[in-house]
Structure formats: C-alpha cells, structure tokens
Amino acid sequence: MAVRLPETTSARRAWALGRHPAGRRGGLLAAAACLVLLAAGCGRASQAEIDGLLGITPTATRSAEDIAAATQSAQAAASAQAAAASSPGTAGQVASAGDPVRGRRQFGNYCLQCHGPGGSGPNLVEAGSAAAGLTYDQLLVLIREGANHPPGPYASFTLSDRAVGDIHAYLLEQSGG
C-alpha cells in the first residue's frame, strides 16, 4: 500500500521529522523489523531471545510420555469396553453404564419439560417414580417408540445410545432405583 504524503508544508515537515502520526507508526514498525533482522542476522540470538523481542510467549506442550500414557489408557478402556460388548447378554449393561452428570444435562435438554414436575408426562425424577424399575433396554424402547403415545417431540435419532445410557444413569440416581 503506497503511503500518501501530506499536502501542506507543515504536514510535510512533521512527516520528515517523524512527528506525523503515520510517520511515527511506520518508523516504529521499521525499527522493530530492523531489530529482529539484526538479532537474527548476527546469528547470536537464540529462538527464545527472538521470540522475546517479538513479544511471542511460548505455549506449554504435553510431553511425549504424557501423550503415550493417555493414549495407552484410552486404548485399554476401549478394548475392555469392546470385549464387554462382545460378550453375550452384556451389550445393554455396557450402554447403560452412563454418566449421571451428562444424563442430567441431557434430561434437562430433552425430557424435563414433559417429564419433570408439572409436566404432561409422568414425573420421572421423583423418588419411587416409574423410572426406578426401568432397565436401559426398556428406556431405549420408550424413547425410540413411545408407550401408548408417540415418542418424545424430537426425532428419535436425536439421542444417541450413549445419551440414553446417561439419562438412564441419571434417572436411576434420582428415583432411587
């Protein structure tokens, strides 16, 4: 982008003396660039010194050992879950081992309006509610197909099996089941 010189004599003088705002900004940028080039050109500055001159702060990175340990842990958990799921009769149990904290959020997003206090459906979060005796598989059928009524007012594919497992864990925790 070409810099347009000021039209008046006093503005030209201010430009030449470095007092014009645009001239000062350009001069400061040029000085910083020269400083960086000088430091890099001499070959004596380390990368940390150059980063410091430029105002760049390094970000912390995880060590290779941390990453390897996390990967190994995740692989072990995945293989254990796959082995449990492949065993006959345990697929529903694996899916129902949900997280009640996530289930509370899912229930609040999808179910609470009708199945909470004052809703048109049965209250599923009070102690001794109908949810206390539901298995994961029964809850999955109720959510996907409904019971004597259409399923919830959302598309049945909206909730994943994991989300249903989380909701199941939350309902069991709330209803004392």
DSSP annotation of 160 reads -
Q: What angle do CA 131, 137, 141 make, to 5 degrees?
A: 85
In a domain, 149, yes or no: yes
In a domain, 72, yes or no: no
Q: Count how many domains the chain has.
A: 2
CATH number at residue 159: 1.10.760.10
Tokens coding 145 = 């197909």
What residue has token string 């009708």? Answer: 114
In a domain, 65, yes or no: no
On whether both 114 and 167 belong to a single domain, the answer is: yes
Q: What is the pLDDT of residues 110-159, one digit of tens each?
A: 888 887 777 777 777 777 777 777 888 888 887 777 666 655 555 555 77
Tokens coding 177 = 């089941």
In a domain, 123, yes or no: yes
Look at residue 69 and give its three-state secondary structure.
helix
On whether both 161 and 105 belong to a single domain, the answer is: yes
Contact between 164 and 136 (Cβ < 8 Å): yes
CA distance 124 to 169: 12
pLDDT for residue 92 = 46
In a domain, 64, yes or no: no
CA distance 120 to 103: 21
In a domain, 66, yes or no: no
CA distance 123 to 177: 14
Q: What is the pLDDT of residues 29-73, one digit of tens each?
A: 777 777 766 656 656 777 788 788 888 877 767 677 777 777 877
On whether both 30 and 96 belong to a single domain, the answer is: no
CA distance 124 to 110: 13
Given a cut of 80, is residue 85 above it in pLDDT?
Answer: no
Report field, pTM of the whole predicted structure over 0.75: no
Q: Provide the terminal-to-terminal Cα distance of the chain, rounded to the nearest Å.
A: 71
What residues make up the domain containing 44? Answer: 9-54
CA distance 167 to 100: 7
On whether both 44 and 107 belong to a single domain, the answer is: no
Indicate the angle between helix axes 21-42 and 47-54, nearest 10 degrees: 170
